[in-house]
């Protein structure tokens, strides 16, 4: 980390930084643990995008839901051309025996925060892409207009693939396939890398891309890279049962993060998208 930036952070935190440890695992920003006599801080920064004011808002909104623990944001700021966020460092501990049951139950309770429209008052980010949250009354309209089409446009401008006609075939089927549920407050990017175990051994959510959306979106995302233990899904379903045949819809919801991944990391994800689309276009 650049010395001048470090001095700037010391001035802002009003404490001497004793050591700086690079953290890996994130996909977008550079992240560090800062050790000071007053305790540890987590800082991440980005030299081109200001992703952090919407991340802060998301963390605050999740905290207000009184479900999951979320790190306290200390500040967001800008130093020369670098945007940053400083927050509480989550000190990990051993996972508690009922961790996954609690995770499922808390997510279900979070999803009971409803609004009558899908979207959010402000746009945020998914990965490094703006995530448009303009309101829609129908879940399917929101999924198509605010989620799939913007990412599909980016994909088709970047790579010479044309998935549009296959997506259109799927869009026609969606009103009959997708459940009619109220919009729920969702984390929006709930893959394996976006939860931590806190010092009490309990689930802590980070990196939100929140909006009021279909709750199956969060459930689908937990399955994208392997899935959470069965206890998590059982506990979720006890608290707030999912609509029948939810398992069959998860691949459809995951077309959105798969498009985002194709745009962020390249062509490898396209065949996965095509396989899902093929199931609905034959």
Residue 110 CB neighbour total at 10 angstroms? 22
Exposure string (b/e) for 203-225, b if CB count within 10 Å is 16 or more?
bbbbbbbbbbbbbbbbbbbbbbe
Report if residue 28 touches ligand ADP, rule: CB under 6 A.
Answer: yes
Report if residue 200 touches ligand ADP, rule: CB under 6 A.
Answer: no
Tell me which DSSP letter residue 180 carries. -
Stretch that binds ligand ADP, among 18-26, 158-166, 177-185, 213-221 (CB under 6 A): 18-26
Distance of CA 158 to the CA centre of its chain: 23
Q: Which is nearer to ligand ADP, 87 or 217 (CB)?
A: 87
Report if residue 25 touches ligand ADP, rule: CB under 6 A.
Answer: yes
Residue written as token pair 């707030």: 240
Residue 205 CB, nearest distance to ligand ADP (Å)?
A: 10
Q: Which is nearer to ligand ADP, 87 or 224 (CB)?
A: 87
Residue 273 CB neighbour total at 10 angstroms? 22
How far apart, in whole angstroms, are the C-alpha atoms of residue 78 and residue 37? 24
How far apart, in whole angstroms, are the C-alpha atoms of residue 124 and residue 131? 5
How far apart, in whole angstroms, are the C-alpha atoms of residue 236 and residue 268? 32
Report if residue 89 touches ligand ADP, rule: CB under 6 A.
Answer: yes
Enzyme catalytic residues: 189
Residue 142 CB, nearest distance to ligand ADP (Å)?
A: 24
Report if residue 246 touches ligand ADP, rule: CB under 6 A.
Answer: no
**Binds ligand ADP by CB under 6 A, chosen from 9, 17, 59, 90:** 90
Report if residue 206 touches ligand ADP, rule: CB under 6 A.
Answer: yes
18 three-state secondary structure: strand
**Binds ligand ADP by CB under 6 A, chosen from 17, 34, 43, 44:** 44
110 three-state secondary structure: helix
With CB under 6 A, what is the number of residues at the site for ligand ADP? 18
Residue 91 CB, nearest distance to ligand ADP (Å)?
A: 8
Report if residue 211 touches ligand ADP, rule: CB under 6 A.
Answer: no
**Binds ligand ADP by CB under 6 A, chosen from 9, 29, 62, 113:** 29
Chain positions 117 to 156 lying near ligand ADP, rule: CB under 6 A, are none
**Binds ligand ADP by CB under 6 A, chosen from 207, 216, 218, 251:** 207
Q: 95: which 2 tokens?
A: 């996972």
159: nearest Cα among 232, 19, 268, 266: 266
Residue written as token pair 């050790």: 35
How far apart, in whole angstroms, are the C-alpha atoms of residue 188 and residue 215? 9
Stretch that binds ligand ADP, among 2-10, 26-34, 148-156, 273-281 (CB under 6 A): 26-34
Stretch that binds ligand ADP, among 8-16, 20-28, 145-153, 265-273 (CB under 6 A): 20-28
CA angle at 122 for the pair 90 and 206, rounded to the nearest 5°: 15
- Which residues would be at the binding site for ligand ADP (CB under 6 A)? 23, 25-29, 31, 42, 44, 71, 87-90, 193, 196, 206-207
């Amino acid at each position: 980390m650049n010395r001048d930036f470090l001095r700037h952070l010391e001035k802002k935190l009003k404490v001497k930084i004793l050591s700086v440890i690079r953290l890996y695992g994130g996909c977008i920003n550079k992240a560090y643990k800062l050790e000071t006599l007053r305790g540890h801080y987590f800082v991440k920064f980005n030299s081109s995008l200001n992703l952090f004011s919407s991340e802060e808002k998301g963390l605050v909104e999740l905290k207000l839901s009184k479900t999951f623990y979320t790190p306290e944001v200390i500040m967001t700021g800008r130093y020369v051309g670098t945007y940053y966020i400083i927050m509480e460092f989550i000190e990990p501990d051993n996972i508690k025996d009922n961790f996954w049951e609690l995770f499922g139950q808390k997510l279900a309770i979070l999803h009971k925060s409803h609004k009558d429209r899908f979207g959010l008052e402000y746009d945020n980010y998914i990965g490094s892409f703006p995530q448009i949250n303009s309101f829609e009354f129908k879940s399917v309209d929101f999924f198509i207009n605010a989620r799939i089409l913007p990412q599909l446009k980016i994909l088709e401008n970047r790579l010479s693939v044309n998935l549009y006609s296959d997506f259109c075939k799927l869009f026609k089927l969606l009103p009959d396939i997708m459940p009619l549920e109220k919009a729920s407050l969702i984390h929006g990017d709930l893959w394996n890398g976006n939860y931590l175990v806190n010092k009490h051994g309990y689930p802590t959510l980070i990196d939100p891309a929140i909006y009021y959306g279909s709750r199956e979106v969060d459930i689908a995302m937990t399955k994208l890279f392997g899935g959470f233990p069965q206890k998590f899904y059982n506990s979720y379903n006890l608290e707030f049962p999912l609509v029948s045949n939810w398992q069959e819809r998860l691949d459809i919801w995951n077309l959105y993060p798969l498009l985002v991944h194709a745009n962020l990391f390249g062509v490898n994800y396209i065949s996965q998208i095509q396989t899902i689309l093929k199931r609905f276009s034959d």
